[in-house]
């Protein structure tokens, strides 16, 4: 009999692990299906109410680890990250998920239903926020990015940043699991707790729908984007004749975009290498084009100005001196020898204030908030993706516009040419490999929206940290060995 129970328990646990892992595999990663993360933790949360503490932790860790391996090829095969770095990269989130589920289980089995409901998402958001603060990759691993296609829900980023999205995605399965756990002994309490969690999510969706429906007049500008994924153009062109030839090719495409009415033209990141004093020839080429076309042109390149070497965006404005922006957040290993920037680049235009950033800068919320506080209504972003991550990494930038209230024009080689507004709506998009020189022309609103997240920053993440501390205190008060018993609605307070 005991053997039969053990076999049945192992089968149930295995089913929970596989179910959560599969939902995570397809619900996160490079091409996430946004509804799946809402249900992914549910199998292991249901298992937690009946399984041992050790079994619950093992199932949770294993399910998260297996589900997150959807990114193994991207980081190891494409990004060439060594296995020694990938072990903690995949292992720490699996451990954090196991601890979050274990905390949920401990509170659930001690009758602290409300605290358990709060503890699970609060633990995960606290983990995400601390990783964001310590990691050179910023918010890149956040669960919130699985929800970029769910536009009504995405609007909560204007209030809480990415942290509120992750919290609510995990609050949903926690509410369902607690409702299922209490369904028999305390059905009224089950209904109240599950209803409270689902009610909060419903209110958030109503807010998002209203925010999307709101129409605010704004000046519009016509933007042009161009990128080439020809084999000779993907990597950084060598200094000298190769870079000069590539710049002439891009200048010709930029002139064509200006003929189509583009008022601002954005080229990708790190097209070639320009060293002083030869860099003056490139400046003369694009400044002349900007004057003739009466258009702002943004060009990404490696700029060498001894002793410094930087990933730079050169900005050519008609009737003005050449401006520049140095990338703040450099990609480890690939850009370790470059000097990071520390200042903003702002353009005062008739339509409003424009800003400039480069690719990985958009993985970090503080820089975008700086642009938001400066009143930017449009951000111009040269970029370079890795083909496979064209949707995942390319679209992450859109959340920064929702958070800090501006439209984004992002031109990436091996990625997308993307124009999005301050609601995260993609207004126009084209693959960079759609033609030898892929181009896109679109109208974009220049509107600066003052959001709660812009004003208060990471207030929700700090609230999650405080909530986690509260739940841990509650667990200590209840005691490690508090007995588990079935309750009725009359006993639940």
Q: Is the pLDDT of residue 477 over 70?
A: yes
Nearest to 38 by CA among 207, 165, 179: 165
pLDDT band for position 33 (50/70/90)?
Answer: very high
Nearest to 230 by CA among 210, 209, 245, 241: 245
Looking at every residue in the chain, the average pLDDT score rounds to: 92
Q: What are phi and psi of 183, to 5 degrees?
A: -55, -40
Are 101 and 48 spatial neighbours (Cβ–Cβ below 8 Å)?
yes
pLDDT band for position 3 (50/70/90)?
Answer: low
The DSSP string of 451-473 is -HHHHH-SHHHHHHHHHHHHHHH
Nearest to 356 by CA among 376, 331, 330: 376
Q: Give the span between the Cα atoms of 491 and 474, in whole angstroms.
A: 19
In tens, the pLDDT along 188-244 reads 887 888 888 889 999 999 999 999 999 888 999 999 999 999 998 999 999 999 999
In tens, the pLDDT along 402-458 reads 999 999 999 999 999 999 999 999 999 999 999 999 999 999 999 999 999 999 999
Q: What are phi and psi of 330, to 5 degrees?
A: -90, 145
Sequence-distant contacts of 290-293: CB under 8 A, at least 24 apart: 290/316, 290/317, 290/318, 291/318, 291/319, 292/255, 292/258, 293/254, 293/255, 293/258, 293/259, 293/262, 293/265
All structural domains of the chain, each given as residue ranges with its CATH number in brackets, are 2-214+458-491 (no CATH), 220-448 (3.60.110.10)
Tokens representing 26 are 């397809």
Sign of CA dihedral 90, 92, 98, 104: negative
Nearest to 53 by CA among 120, 113, 106, 117: 106
Are 267 and 411 spatial neighbours (Cβ–Cβ below 8 Å)?
yes
Nearest to 287 by CA among 299, 274, 277: 299
- What share of the chain has pLDDT > 70, as a percent? 95
Q: Give the span between the Cα atoms of 464 and 444, in whole angstroms.
A: 36
- What pTM, to 2 d.p., does this model score? 0.94
Are 330 and 367 spatial neighbours (Cβ–Cβ below 8 Å)?
no
Query: Would you call 470 exposed, middle or buried from its count of C-beta atoms within 10 A (0-12, 13-18, 19+)?
Result: middle
Q: Give the span between the Cα atoms of 447 and 407, in whole angstroms.
A: 7
| Coil, strand or helix at 346 | strand
Q: Is the pLDDT of residue 394 over 50?
A: yes
Q: What are phi and psi of 132, to 5 degrees?
A: -60, -40
| Coil, strand or helix at 348 | strand
| Coil, strand or helix at 323 | strand
In tens, the pLDDT along 354-368 reads 999 999 999 999 999
Q: Give the span between the Cα atoms of 142 and 133, in whole angstroms.
A: 12
Tokens representing 183 are 């369904």
Q: Give the span between the Cα atoms of 75 and 384, in whole angstroms.
A: 16
Query: Would you call 487 exposed, middle or buried from its count of C-beta atoms within 10 A (0-12, 13-18, 19+)?
Result: middle
Which residues on adjacent β-strands are paired with residue 211? none
Which residues on adjacent β-strands are paired with residue 300? 313
């Amino acid at each position: 009999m005991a053997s039969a129970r053990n076999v049945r328990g192992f089968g149930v646990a295995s089913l929970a692990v596989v179910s959560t892992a599969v939902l995570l595999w397809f619900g996160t990663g490079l091409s996430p299906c946004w509804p799946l993360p809402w249900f992914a933790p549910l199998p292991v949360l249901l298992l937690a109410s009946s399984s041992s503490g050790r079994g619950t932790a093992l199932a949770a860790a294993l399910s998260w680890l297996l589900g997150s391996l959807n990114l193994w090829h991207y980081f190891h095969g494409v990004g060439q990250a060594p296995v020694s770095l990938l072990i903690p990269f995949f292992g720490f989130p699996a451990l954090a998920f196991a601890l979050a589920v274990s905390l949920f289980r401990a509170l659930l089995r001690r009758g602290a239903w409300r605290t358990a409901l709060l503890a699970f998402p609060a633990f995960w958001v606290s983990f995400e926020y601390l990783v964001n603060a310590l990691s050179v990759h910023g918010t890149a691993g956040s669960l919130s990015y699985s929800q970029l296609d769910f536009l009504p829900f995405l609007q909560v980023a204007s209030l809480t940043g990415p942290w509120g999205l992750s919290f609510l995605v995990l609050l949903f399965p926690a509410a369902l699991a607690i409702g299922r756990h209490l369904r028999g002994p305390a059905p009224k309490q089950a209904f109240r707790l599950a209803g409270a969690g689902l009610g909060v999510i419903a209110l958030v969706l109503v807010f998002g729908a209203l925010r999307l429906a709101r129409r605010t007049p704004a000046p519009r500008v016509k933007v042009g984007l161009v990128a080439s994924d020809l084999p000779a153009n993907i990597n950084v062109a060598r200094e000298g004749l190769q870079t000069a030839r590539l710049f002439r090719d891009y200048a010709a495409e930029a002139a064509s975009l200006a003929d189509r009415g583009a008022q601002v033209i954005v080229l990708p990141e790190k097209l070639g290498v320009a060293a002083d004093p030869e860099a003056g020839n490139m400046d003369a080429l694009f400044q002349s084009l900007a004057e003739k076309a009466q258009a702002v042109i943004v060009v990404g390149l490696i700029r060498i100005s001894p002793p410094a070497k930087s990933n730079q965006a050169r900005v050519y404005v008609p009737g003005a001196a050449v401006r520049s922006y140095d990338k703040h957040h450099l990609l480890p290993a690939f850009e370790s020898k470059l000097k990071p920037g520390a200042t903003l680049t702002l353009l005062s235009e008739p339509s409003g204030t424009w800003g400039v950033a480069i690719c990985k800068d958009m993985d970090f919320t503080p820089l975008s908030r700086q642009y938001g506080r400066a009143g930017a209504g449009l951000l111009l972003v040269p970029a370079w993706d890795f083909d496979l991550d064209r949707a995942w990494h390319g679209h992450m930038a859109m959340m920064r516009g929702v958070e800090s209230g501006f439209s984004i024009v992002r031109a990436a080689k091996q990625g997308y040419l993307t124009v999005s507004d301050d609601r995260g709506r993609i207004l126009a998009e084209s693959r960079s490999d759609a033609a030898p020189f892929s181009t896109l022309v679109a109208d974009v609103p220049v509107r600066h929206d003052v959001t709660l997240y812009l004003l208060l920053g990471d207030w929700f993440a700090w609230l999650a940290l405080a909530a986690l501390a509260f739940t841990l205190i509650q667990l200590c008060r209840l005691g490690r060995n508090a007995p588990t018993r079935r309750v009725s609605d009359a006993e639940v307070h």
